[in-house]
Amino acid sequence: MVNLSATILAFNEEKRIGACLESLRGVADEIIVVDSYSTDRTREICEKYGCRITQRRFDGFGAQRQYATSLTTHQYVLSIDADEVLSPALQESIKKLKEVGFAHRVYNVSRLNFYCGVPVKHCGWYPDLQIRLFDKRYANWNLRDVAEKVIFRDSVRPELLDGDILHYRCDTREQYSDVSRRHAAMKAKVLAVSNEKIGSLTPFVHGVKAFWHTYIAEGGILEGNVGREIAAAHYRSELLAYSAAKALAKKK
C-alpha cells in the first residue's frame, strides 16, 4: 500500500470544507491544510478530521500551493480545494492506485463544475482537465498568482483517472460575482507588469471575446440561463481585469 498526502488551501470555508474532508476518508494518509487566517470555524473543522494545519498569508495561488506541497511527507500528492469533493468513482480509482502502486508520475482528473448547485457540462467547464495527483519529485506548482498549474518535463505523460472532482464554485450568483472580482483584481496586477499594450478599447474587446468564447464557442447557449449568466460574468471579469490593469500601468 502506497501512502498519499492531500493538500488543501482554505480561507473561511466552514460551510464547504467538511464535505471535502469527508471525501478524503480512506484516500489520503495525511491532509495538509494551509489556512490564510480564517476567522470562522474552518480550523476547528479541520482539527476534527486530524488535519495538519498551517497558517500562512495568501500571496498567490501558485506560491500557496507549492508551499502546501513542501509540507507533505509522502511522495505522491493530491491537491484539492476546500470547495471540491472527490466523486465515489474517483475515490475508488485512487484507492486502487494505492494498492497496486502508482505507475505514472502525474495524473489528469476531470473536474465537473457546479453553478448555484447546477452541474455545467458546457461553457468550457467540463471536462476541465486538471493535474491534481503527482509525484512531487518530478512535478510541482508554478508560482503564478492566477491560472496556476502543475509543471513537469515534456517527457512526462499524464494518465487520466476515472471519476471526477466535483467543484462547487458558488451557492449564489452574488458569490460567483465576488469570486470573479477577486480573480480579476489578481489578474490585473499580473497584466499591469506585463508587456501587453492596453488601449482604450482593449478591456471591452477582451470582455466581448470572453463572452463569445463561453456562450458560443464552448456551447454555453446550451445551458440556458445558467450559460448566459456565466458568460456575462466572464465578460465583466475580463472587462474589470483589463480596465484595472490599464489604470495600474498608467499610475506606475
> What distance in Å separates the CA atoms of residue 35 and residue 46, rounded to the nearest whole number?
10
> What distance in Å separates the CA atoms of residue 31 and residue 28, rounded to the nearest whole number?
7
pLDDT tens for each residue of the chain, 252 residues long: 899 999 999 999 999 999 999 999 999 999 999 999 999 999 999 999 999 999 999 989 999 999 999 999 999 999 999 999 999 999 999 999 999 999 999 999 999 999 999 999 999 999 999 999 999 999 999 998 888 999 999 999 999 999 999 999 999 999 999 999 999 999 999 898 887 889 999 999 999 999 999 999 999 999 999 999 999 999 999 999 999 999 988 876
pLDDT of residue 146: 82
Residue with cell 469533493: 85
Query: Could you tell me if 6 and 33 are in contact, meaning their C-beta atoms sit under 8 angstroms apart?
Result: no
C-alpha cell recorded at residue 139: 512535478
What's the distance, Cα to Cα, between the start and end of the chain in Å?
55
pLDDT of residue 118: 97
C-alpha cell recorded at residue 232: 456575462
Beta-bridged to residue 7, according to DSSP, are: 32, 79
CA atoms 26, 89, 172, 233: torsion sign: positive
Q: How far is CA 20 from CA 25, 40, 81, 155, 156, in A?
A: 9, 17, 8, 32, 29
Amino acid at 229: E
SS3 label, residue 245: helix
> What distance in Å separates the CA atoms of residue 154 and residue 126, rounded to the nearest whole number?
24
pLDDT of residue 252: 67
> What distance in Å separates the CA atoms of residue 55 and residue 229, rounded to the nearest whole number?
35
Residue 71 is classified by DSSP as T
Show the DSSP H helices in the chain as ranges: 17-23, 42-48, 61-70, 88-100, 173-192, 202-212, 225-251
